[in-house]
Amino acid sequence: MTTVDHLRQVRLGNLRTVLLALVDRPGSRADLAARTGLTKATLGNLTEPLLASGILVEEPATLAGMGRPSKPLRFHPDGPVAVGAEINVSHLAVETLGLDGETLERRLVPADMRGATESEVLDRVAELIREVTGPRKLLGAGLAIPGVVHDGIVIRTPNLPGLVGSPLAEGLGRRLDLDVELDNEANLAALAHLWPHHLAGEDFVHVTADVGIGAGVVLNGEVYRGVSGFAGELGHVVIERNGVPCTCGSRGCVERYAGLDVILREAGRRTLNSLRKALDSGDPKAARAVRDAGEALGVGLATLMNLFDVPTVVLGGSYALLHDHLSAAVQSEMDGRVLAGGERHTRLLASPLGEFAVARGAAGLVTRRAVQQPERLFA
Amino acid sequence: MTTVDHLRQVRLGNLRTVLLALVDRPGSRADLAARTGLTKATLGNLTEPLLASGILVEEPATLAGMGRPSKPLRFHPDGPVAVGAEINVSHLAVETLGLDGETLERRLVPADMRGATESEVLDRVAELIREVTGPRKLLGAGLAIPGVVHDGIVIRTPNLPGLVGSPLAEGLGRRLDLDVELDNEANLAALAHLWPHHLAGEDFVHVTADVGIGAGVVLNGEVYRGVSGFAGELGHVVIERNGVPCTCGSRGCVERYAGLDVILREAGRRTLNSLRKALDSGDPKAARAVRDAGEALGVGLATLMNLFDVPTVVLGGSYALLHDHLSAAVQSEMDGRVLAGGERHTRLLASPLGEFAVARGAAGLVTRRAVQQPERLFA
DNA sequence: CCTCATTCGTTCAATGCTTGAACTTAGTCT
DNA sequence: AGACTAAGTTCAAGCATTGAACGAATGAGG
């Protein structure tokens, strides 16, 4: 700590609260002062360098009511942006996100990544990112993979075995000359529901089924990753201790009853689209397969809620598409098994974000860090 | 925010880090400066009012080595203390705790609280506290009950039904003219392993079996209580979705297989003491009952670890006493079911704290708050 | 016994951030 | 045109930390 670092910390903290207020919505200096509890004088001070460096713009005066008209500040439309990329078994997706939370570009390309090597994967991702971002100034990139990540290293990816142990973030960073942050797809899908906009409160679980089942847990407005990145492994919650053996070595894991592969097999379908059609046409075998999965998922979620005590579950990914045929069974198991008392309620929502949730969350990782550590904006 | 509140926050934050360093161990101003990263000048400033108000004392100079001898600072032995009380089905316990982490007094009295009313319970607790504390200056009291607490209100206490909805903290506070904080016994037993001394790291779960099974979850050095106080309800984690019905309305809850009442029944014993004797004399029925419970508990804990990703489980209360006959089965289920990868390890420990863990944790609630919000020390 | 080296603790001017009040600017309302 | 209102700026004051200088208290060595 040098002489005046304490003072600098105060300033950075205030800068952060101002930026958070601006993510919420644009506002004049006076408005921001009222919203943050700081004074107009401080707001003038804090925003000056942000305007000078092109992070913010001052809009033309708004003529509304009496008094001197205000000149609202907002994130500069040509300011720096973040990019997020998702590597998955069967596709790649990227999305660019402005500091204001607006999506600028998206791209999703089918691609069989199952046997690919690290450098093949990274080459394709880097190329896709270059196509999408063009010459814009980038704050950084977020990278999502279906697997467990700890300290920037891929620890476990049952479905992309070629990538275990790879320093993916570093590799992509070198290719693009950018800061890259790597995280689990479940965590990032959850983050997309928290940042830049609160879609499900500050405490919730986001559940998806792709090849496995992954849950992203948000506690107190932060994604909870656990000590080693293994938190939220809902797929391996046990619901029948002597049940079906699982590839993980355990028995009776939720994944073996509510995984997408299980649903499709039981329904006698090969694709999610075909399953949806069967459901829409009232096929009883399909309906039963989905309901059975919902029951198993509901038991696992009840256990999760008895441990985490969050009020909200968000069904995302494939589950969101099956929501109308799935949620009754899930809700019923949860109602019967989650401990009740006081004012406690549980909500079950379908994600509104669709297939770009993960890539958007990956980009959100970057914009969020930029806001929370504003010194990065000036670097 | 008034004019210089920001600066005041900086000072209070520094005061907190100094007090934390002192809880760790006493030290001279120069030593504390080195440990906290602050300067000697600041330390002189910060400690001056603490010495003046009798929170700290300056010990006589220590003659060790060259240079001017240092005068170590420590918490004043006659300074203010905290008291913690545990209300349980069959006993009351209290403990007084100094800011330095030393236990001053303890008292445990058998008492059947099952049918007691709020005021009967509080009268007895208040009397016990008065006996134990005498005329010492009290920082406050912590109160533990076997049940779910939210916003200072008892929401659920299956075993002390007379207390649901009672403002216990307020009632005890009035009787003793003190600040009283109410919390769940599982959370407080866990806190006792975190504060004032780290006995199991900063991330762990502490599990006890009394009438039910309760887990106190510590994440990142903080007790995690969840949105409504229901977090860590390990007893109602499902291990067999079509298993034994539970009083909670669900089926196959861990509690129905690993609860103390189940162990005793299966072992054909009436008390924990008698069970211990049977185990010591090699009774196979008792051993099997404990092992079966251990398997069920292990399945539940495996699920918990796949969700929370903490590296350590502490067995406390009755489980600590059964540790040697229980842990092999628990560990074996955990090894087989917790997702592995990277550097991940899991530890299973027996609590060293014994029957005062909960009361000590309740007192710790108060000393911890005093240290983390040092402004309270001067009020 | 006296001097030097060493470490502890205190004193003090400097730093830089927020603040409230006063002030300037730029509109509306009558 | 003059009063009124609200936005934004300027400025002296206040304050916690800091580093450097200083005073204090002891051990080592001659």
Least trusted range by pLDDT, from A20-24, A60-64, A175-179, B185-189: A60-64
Q: Does residue A170 contact residue A121 with C-beta atoms inside 8 Å?
A: no
Nearest CB neighbour to B303, from listed A10, A203, A238: A238
**In sequence order, what are the residues at sequence separation of 6 or more whose Cβ sits closer than 8 angstroms to the Cβ of residue A353?**
A189, A192, A193, A199, A316, A360
A342 to B234: CB separation less than 8 angstroms, yes or no:
no
Nucleic strand C near CB of residue B3 (< 7 Å) = yes
Whether the predicted pLDDT of A206 surpasses 80: yes
Q: How many residues does chain A have?
A: 379
Average pLDDT of the residues of chain B: 95
Residue in B327, B303, B3, B159 with CA at minimum distance from that of residue A253: B303
Which chain B residue's Cα is nearest to A214?
A: B307
Does the distance separating the beta carbons of A236 and B309 come in below 8 Å? no
Q: What is the pLDDT of residue A4?
A: 67
Summarize pLDDT for A176-201 with one digit per residue, the tens: 999 999 999 999 999 999 999 999 99
What span, in angstroms and rounded, lies between the C-alpha atoms of B91 and B121?
11
Question: Does residue A379 surpass a pLDDT of 90?
Answer: no
Q: From the candidates A187, A202, A227, which should be mutated to test the interface with B, based on the most B CB atoms within 10 A?
A: A227
Neighboring chain B residues of A249 at a CB cutoff of 8 Å: 336-337
Residue B63, CA: closest nucleotide via C1'?
D26
For chain B residues 54-93, those near strand D by a CB cutoff of 7 A are 61, 63, 65-69
Checking if the pLDDT of A1 tops 80, the result is: no
Q: Which of chain D's bases lie under 7 Å from a protein CB? A: 4-11, 14-21, 23-28
Q: What is the pLDDT of residues A244-268, one digit of tens each?
A: 999 999 999 999 999 999 999 999 9
Judge: B308–A233 Cβ closer than 8 Å, yes or no: no
pLDDT tens across B202-225, in order?
A: 999 999 998 789 999 999 999 999
Asked whether the predicted pLDDT for residue A6 surpasses 90, the reply is: no
Q: What is the mean pLDDT of chain A?
A: 95
Contact (Cβ atoms closer than 8 angstroms) between residue B234 and residue A307? yes
pLDDT value, residue A53: 95
CA A360 to chain centre: 7
Closest CA to B227 of A334, A309, A205, A307: A309
Question: Which positions of chain C lie under 7 Å from any protein Cβ?
Answer: 5-12, 15-22, 25-29
Predicted pLDDT of residue A277: 97
- Biggest CA-to-CA distance, chain B: 73
| Interface touch B248/A337, C-beta < 8 Å | yes
Domains of chain B: 5-75 (1.10.10.10), 81-191+357-378 (3.30.420.40), 200-352 (3.30.420.40)
| Residue of B153, B230, B307 lying closest to A339 (CB–CB) | B230
**Distance between CA atoms of residues A309 and A306, nearest Å:** 6
**Does residue B343 register a pLDDT over 90?**
no
Q: In percent, how much of chain B has pLDDT > 70?
A: 99
Alpha-carbon distance A364 to B359, whole Å?
A: 44
Q: Do A337 and B231 touch (CB under 8 A)?
A: no
* pLDDT at residue B225 in the model: 98
Residues of A in contact with B4 (CB under 8 A): none
Interface probe, candidates A145, A251, A306, chain B, greatest B C-beta count within 10 A: A306
Distance A67 CA to C24 C1' (A): 13
Per-residue confidence (pLDDT) for residue A2, from 0 to 100: 55
Distances (CA, A) of A349 to A286, A301, A323, B184, B294: 22, 13, 9, 30, 37
CA A141 to chain centre: 14
| Chain B residues within 8 A of A221 when measuring between CB atoms | none
How far apart are the CA of B53 and the nearest CA of chain A, in angstroms? 27
Residue B330's Cβ-count burial label (10 Å; 0-12, 13-18, 19+) is buried
The C1' atom of D17 and the CA atom of A70 lie apart, in whole Å, by 38
A48/chain B closest Cα distance in angstroms: 21
Cβ contact A238–B236 (<8 Å): no
Three-state secondary structure along chain A? CCCCHHHHHHHHHHHHHHHHHHHHCCECHHHHHHHHCCCHHHHHHHHHHHHHCCCEEECCCECCCCCCCECCEEECCCCCEEEEEEECCCEEEEEEEECCCCEEEEEEEECCCCCCCHHHHHHHHHHHHHHHHCCCCEEEEEEEECCEEECCEEEECCCCHHHCCCCHHHHHHHHHCCCEEEEEHHHHHHHHCCCCCCCCCCCEEEEEECCCEEEEEEECCEEECCCCCCCCCHHHCECECCCCECCCCCECECHHHHCHHHHHHHHCCCCHHHHHHHHHCCCHHHHHHHHHHHHHHHHHHHHHHHHHCCCEEEECHHHHHCHHHHHHHHHHHHHHHCCCCCCCCCEEEECCCHHHHHHHHHHHHHHHHHHHCHHHHHC
pLDDT score recorded for residue B115: 86
B132: closest CA of chain A, how far (Å): 34
Range with the poorest average pLDDT among A2-11, A72-81, A197-206, B235-244: A2-11
CA geometry: angle A148, A152, A157, nearest 5 deg: 25
Q: Is the Cβ atom of A339 within 7 Å of strand C at any atom? A: no
Judged against a pLDDT cut of 70, whether residue B349 lies above it is answered with: yes
Nearest residue: Cα versus C1' of C10: B41
Nearest CA in chain B to A248: B339
pLDDT band, very low/low/confident/very high, at A307 (cuts 50, 70, 90): very high
Distance B4 CA to D13 C1' (A): 11
Is the pLDDT reported for residue B98 higher than 90? yes
Residue A34 predicted with pLDDT over 70: yes
Arithmetic mean of pLDDT, B227-255: 97
| Cβ–Cβ under 8 Å, residues B226 and B333 | no
Among B228, B330, B338, B346, which would you mutate to test the A interface (most chain A Cβ atoms within 10 Å of its Cβ)?
Answer: B228
List of residues 6+ apart from A13 with CB closer than 8 A: none
Using the predicted structure, report yes or no on whether residue A15 has a pLDDT greater than 90: yes
Instruction: Name the nucleotide with the smallest C1'–CA separation from B34.
Output: C8
Rounded average pLDDT over B354-372: 98
The reply to whether B340 Cβ lies less than 7 angstroms from strand D is no
Percent of chain B at pLDDT exceeding 90: 91
Per-residue pLDDT tens for B165-210?
989 999 999 999 999 999 999 999 999 999 999 999 999 999 999 8
Q: Give the HSE-up count for residue A256: Cα atoms under 13 Å, Cβ half-sphere.
A: 18
- Over residues B233-240, the mean pLDDT reads 98
- According to the model, what pLDDT value does residue A3 have? 54
Q: Which residue of A has its CA nearest to B345?
A: A228
Cα-flanking dihedrals φ and ψ of residue B250, to 5°? -90, -170
Inter-chain touch B238–A303, beta carbons under 8 Å = yes
* Tens digit of each residue's pLDDT (9 = 90 or more) over A108-167: 999 999 889 999 999 999 999 999 998 899 999 999 999 999 999 999 999 998 899 989
Q: Which amino acid is at B123?
A: D
- Express each pLDDT in B125-163 by its tens digit: 999 999 999 889 999 999 999 999 999 999 999 999 889
- Does the nearest atom of strand C lie within 7 Å of B69's Cβ? yes
Nearest to A243 by CA among A279, A189, A296, A201: A296
pLDDT exceeds 70 at position B58: yes
| A11 closest-nt by C1' vs CA | C17
